[in-house]
Amino acid sequence: MIKTKKIVSQLGGSLFALIFVVGFGLGGWYGGVLPMAQQLQGWWRAGNMVAVQARIDKLELREHRSEDGPSYSVDAEFVYQFDGKTYRSKRISVGGDSSDGYNGYNRSTHASLLQARSNDQSVTLWIDPQDPAFAAYDRQLHIKRLIFLIPFATLFPAVSLGALWAIWAIWFRRDDDEETTPGLPGFASATGKSDWQELHPAPSGAGGLGLFALFWNLISFPIAGLFMMDRASHGYWQYLVLLFPALGVLMIAGAVWLAYSRWRVGKPRLTLAKQPHTGIENLSLRLHFDPPLGQRMATGASHYMVKAEIHCEHEDRRGEDTTTKRLWEQTLAEQVVMHGAQSMDFTISLPADMPASGKQEHKDIEVIWNLQLNILGADLVFKLPVQQGLGEKANARDLIAKQYRSHEQRIYGLPQAPTDNSNQTRRWVWFSAIFFIPVVASVFFIFDLNDLRNLAGSSSAGADNVAIETLAQLKARLDAGGDVNARDASGRSLLMQAADDNDIAKVRYLLQKGAQVDLMTPVDADGNGGRSALFAAIHNDGIEIVQMLADAGADLSRPGNKVWTPAHYAAYKGALKSLRFLHERGVAMDQTFDGGRGSTPLMIAAQYNRLDVISFLQLAGADRSKKDLYGEDACGYARYFKQAQAAAALGCS
C-alpha cells in the first residue's frame, strides 16, 4: 500500500514538473533562442548584402488584440530586379522576426512604407547577391530587441532543464529513508569503515547564492539596459532601476567571497575517535587541513583563531511550514592554531537528556546535531551522527527508546510544534523566492516594459494604439460624409494623427479639406494633454508639416498646456529644424512661459543637454543671464541637472 502511494505521488510530481518542462522549454525556444539566433544569423549575413531599389506591391498593418492591448505586424511584399531577373520578398527585418517587436517597431516601419507607397516612391531593399531571393527591408541588428530576448533565451530554458532534473530526481534519486542511518551498530561500509569516523563540511552556499544571482542578473540587467537606452522617455526616476543590477552584482560578490573563503581553508575533514552518543564526555575530534592551514592566504599570519559551537535542533518539515527549535547549544573555547598546521585536536561533551540525530516518528521530523567552526572567515558546518546513549552504560530508558521509537517524544521530551509562528519559516515562500520569483518577475517586467514605454510615448507622440489609415481610406471616409475634424478616443484630430504619422500627403489633403489647425487634445487637472498638430509635427521635427501648418494659420506661440509653448517643446525635443523655422517666422527665442517656472527655451535646452539647440539659441540672441520666476538662469539649470556639457556650451563659470 505504501509503495502504491509512493508511485502515485511520484506520478503527480512528474506531471507537475512536466508542465514546466514543456511550457518553459517551448517558450524559451520559440520566444527566445530561435528569434535571437535568427537575429544574429541575419546580422552576420547582412555584411555581404547589396542595395537595390524595390517597389512596394502590397502593404498591410495587421492588428492583433489581446487582454494586454493591441499588437501589430506588417504584411508587405516588395518587387525588385537583380541581374535581369524579377524577384519578390516579404521579409521586413533581416532577422526574420515578424512579431510586434520592441517599442512599436512594426508601426513605425509601416508608417515609413506607407508614406513611400502613397508618394509612389521606391524603397531600398537589401539582397544577398549569392542568393538574390533573400532580401530584407531592414538589415540592422536591433540591440534593444536582442536585450529584450535575453531573459527568454536563458531563464526559460533554465527553468525547463531544472524541471527535467526534478523529474529525474523524483524517480532515480535515492530517498533519505532508504539510506543507511549513520551511527547505528551493524551498519558499516563495504570497506569496513564506519560512516561516522570521517565527516566532511556542508556546502558553503556559494553555489546556491551564485545561481540565484545569475537568475536575478539575467532579468535585472536587460531591463535596466532597455530603460537606460531611452533616458529621455522616463525622466530621472528611471535611475532607480539601476539598484536591481547593483544588488545582483553584490550577490555575485557575496557568492565569490563565500567560495573564496572556503577555498582558503582547503578541503578540511573531521575525524572522530569513536561513535558520538548522547551523554558522552570528552569525545576526541581532529580537524584535518588540506593543504596546511594558511598556505592559501595571500598574507599569512603566525597563528589563527578558531571559534567552535555545537548545537542540537529539532526540525519539523510537515506541511507548508518548517518549525525549527534549538534544543541545546554550547560555545566552545576559542583555540589558537599555528600557521602551517595540518590538524587541530579538541574535545566535546554531549548532554544525556537530548535525543539522537536522524529521522523521528515521521520522515519530515528530524533531530540535527551540528558542529560549526569559523576558520579564516569561513564557516564550516559538520553534521554529527549522534547515537542515543547506548554506550558502555546502557540504562532502561535508553533500551526502551531504542525498541519503541514512537515513544521518544514522551521519554526524551521532544518539542511539540509551537502554537505561534515566531520560529516558523514557510518553505514554499523561500523556494519561490529562490526559483519562481525570478521567472515570474522576468515575465511581468518583460511583457509590461513595452506597455510602460507606450504609456510614456502617448503623452508626446500621441496614441499609438490606433491603426494607421491609408490616404485612400481617409478620402473614401470623408467623401462619404465623414467629419474632417473627427477625433479619436484620446482627443486627437485627424490632422494631428496625420502629423503624428509624419504623413505629408495626408496633412496636405486634410488642410485642403478645411481641417482646423489649432484643435487640441483635452487638458486634465494635472496639465497633461493640450497637444495640437503643430506639437505633433515638432515631435517628429517634420519641417515640411510644420511649414504647412504655419501657412494654414497655426498659432506658432500658443501654449499647448501648462508646460510647453512650441518653442519650448522644440528645445526639449532637440527639434532644431523646427526651432529654426519658428525663429524665421518671428517667434521670440527668449520668451518665458508663466504657466511653468517662467523658463526660456535656452533653460530647457540646458536642462536636457541639447547642445545643438544651445548653440543655435545663442546665435539667435537668446540671453543666457535671463532668470526664471525663481531666480535661476540657464547656467543654474545646467548645474542643477548636472549637465556638464551644457554648462560648457553656455560658457558657465
Q: CA-to-CA distance for 26 and 56, rounded, in angstroms? A: 35
Determine the pLDDT at residue 68: 62
Q: Rounded to two decimals, what is the model's pTM?
A: 0.51
Question: What is the rounded CA–CA span in Å between residue 534 and residue 545?
Answer: 8
Phi-psi region of 651 (alpha: psi -120 to 50; beta: other; left: phi over 0): left
Round to whole Å and give the CA distance between 376 and 261: 7
Which residues, at least 6 apart from 5, have a Cβ–Cβ distance to it below 8 Å?
none
Vertex 631 angle, CA 630 and 635, to 5°? 115
Q: Cα-flanking dihedrals φ and ψ of residue 595, to 5°?
A: -70, -20
Distance of CA 299 to CAs 266, 326, 337, 374, 376, Å? 16, 38, 16, 19, 12
Eight-class DSSP state of 361: S
Query: Quick one: pLDDT at residue 440?
Result: 47
| Rounded average pLDDT per 10-residue block, the chain, 653 residues | 68 86 89 85 81 88 72 87 90 70 70 80 85 87 80 88 87 59 39 64 91 88 78 62 90 94 94 91 93 89 93 85 88 92 93 89 87 94 87 43 42 37 41 48 45 37 48 85 83 90 93 92 72 92 94 89 82 93 93 77 91 93 90 90 90 87
Closest Cα partner for 561 from 521, 533, 589, 597?
A: 521
CB atoms within 10 A of CB 206: 18
Eight-state DSSP code of residue 174: P
| Domains delineated in the chain | 2-144 (no CATH), 268-417 (2.60.40.2950)
Sign of CA dihedral 199, 204, 207, 209: positive
Contact (CB, 8 A) for 97 and 145: yes
Other residues' Cβ atoms within 10 Å of the Cβ of residue 430? 11
Give backbone dihedrals phi and psi of 158, rounded to 5 degrees, phi first. -65, -40
Q: SS3 for 375?
A: strand
CA nearest 470: which of 60, 137, 2? Answer: 60
Cα of first residue to Cα of last residue in the chain, in angstroms, is 87
Q: Please tell me the distance from the alpha carbon of residue 155 to that of residue 115, in angstroms, as a whole number.
A: 40
Strands (E), 187-320: 198-199, 269-272, 283-288, 303-316
- Tens digits of per-residue pLDDT, 63-108? 777 666 677 788 899 999 988 899 999 988 887 765 544 556 777 7
